[in-house]
Amino acid sequence: MKHNQEAPVVSLVSLGCAKNTVDSERILGRLVESGFLLSEDPAQADICLVNTCGFIHDAREESAATLRELAKLRKSGQLKALVALGCLAERALDVPEVANTLAPADATVRFSDYPRLAEICRGLLARHAEKNRRPPAAATGGDYHQTFQNFPRLRIGAAHTAYLKISEGCSNPCRFCAIPRIRGRQVSRPIADLVREARELLALGARELCLIAQDTTSYGRDLAGKFLLPDLLATLRDEIPDAVWFRLMYAYPLHLTDAMLATLASDSRFCPYLDLPLQHISDAMLAAMGRGMTKADTLALLDRLPQKLPNLALRTSFIVGYPGETEQDFAELLAFVREGRFTHAGVFLYSHEAKTPAAQLADDLPLAVKQARRDALMAAQLEVSRRRQAARVGREISVLVEAPVERGAKVPKGVRALARSQYEAPEVDGVVMLRGSAAARLAPGTFARAQIVQALDYDVIAALA
pLDDT digits (tens, 9 = 90+) for 312-370: 999 999 999 999 999 999 999 999 999 999 999 999 999 988 889 999 999 889 999 99
What gap in Å lies between CA 422 and CA 398, rounded to an integer?
A: 7
Co-location of 209 and 347 in the same domain:
yes
* The one-letter amino acid at 105: A
Co-location of 199 and 309 in the same domain:
yes
- Tell me if 370 is assigned to some domain: yes
Co-location of 115 and 247 in the same domain:
no
What gap in Å lies between CA 356 and CA 60, rounded to an integer?
A: 16
Co-location of 313 and 439 in the same domain:
no
SS3 12: strand
Residues with Cβ within 8 Å of residue 126, at least 6 apart in sequence: none
- Tell me if 3 is assigned to some domain: no
Co-location of 106 and 244 in the same domain:
no
Final residue before a domain boundary, out of 352, 373, 392: 392
What gap in Å lies between CA 184 and CA 164, rounded to an integer?
A: 19
* The one-letter amino acid at 401: V
Q: Is 292 left (phi over 0), alpha (psi -120 to 50) or beta?
A: left
Residue 128 has a pLDDT of 83
Co-location of 278 and 340 in the same domain:
yes
Q: Label residues 400-416 b or e (16+ Cβ within 10 Å = b).
A: bbbebbeeeeebeeebb
What gap in Å lies between CA 55 and CA 117, rounded to an integer?
A: 23
CA–CA distance from 220 to each of 98, 186, 261 (Å)? 32, 9, 16
pLDDT-derived band of residue 33, with 50, 70 and 90 as boundaries?
very high
- Tell me if 4 is assigned to some domain: no
Co-location of 120 and 178 in the same domain:
no
Of 112 and 370, the structure prediction assigns the larger pLDDT to 370
Can you give the pTM of this predicted structure?
0.92
Please classify residue 177 by burial: count the beta carbons closer than 10 Å to its beta carbon, then call 0-12 exposed, 13-18 middle and 19+ buried.
buried
Count: domains in the chain? 3
CA–CA distance from 267 to each of 86, 263, 270, 372, 421 (Å)? 36, 8, 6, 42, 16
Co-location of 119 and 172 in the same domain:
no
- Tell me if 208 is assigned to some domain: yes
pLDDT digits over 88-99, tens only? 999 888 888 888
pLDDT digits over 39-95, tens only? 999 999 999 999 999 878 888 889 989 999 999 988 887 799 999 999 999 988 888
pLDDT digits over 114-167, tens only? 998 999 999 999 888 776 555 444 444 445 666 788 888 999 989 999 999 999
Co-location of 404 and 375 in the same domain:
no
- Tell me if 2 is assigned to some domain: no
Check which CATH number belongs to the domain holding 21 and give it: 3.40.50.12160
Beta strands in 92-140 (DSSP E): 107-109
- Tell me if 214 is assigned to some domain: yes
Co-location of 136 and 169 in the same domain:
no
Domain boundaries, position 403? 396-464
- Tell me if 1 is assigned to some domain: no
Check which CATH number belongs to the domain holding 193 and give it: 3.80.30.20
Residues with Cβ within 8 Å of residue 82, at least 6 apart in sequence: 47, 48, 50, 67, 70, 71, 74, 104, 105, 106
Over residues 271-278, mean pLDDT:
97
Final residue before a domain boundary, out of 392, 413, 440: 392
- Tell me if 63 is assigned to some domain: yes
Q: Would the pLDDT of 422 be above 90?
A: yes
Co-location of 421 and 339 in the same domain:
no
Final residue before a domain boundary, out of 392, 411, 429: 392
What gap in Å lies between CA 303 and CA 332, rounded to an integer?
A: 18
218 neighbors 172 (Cβ within 8 angstroms)? yes
- CA dihedral sign of residues 207, 192, 115, 50: negative
Co-location of 211 and 338 in the same domain:
yes
Check which CATH number belongs to the domain holding 414 and give it: 2.40.50.140
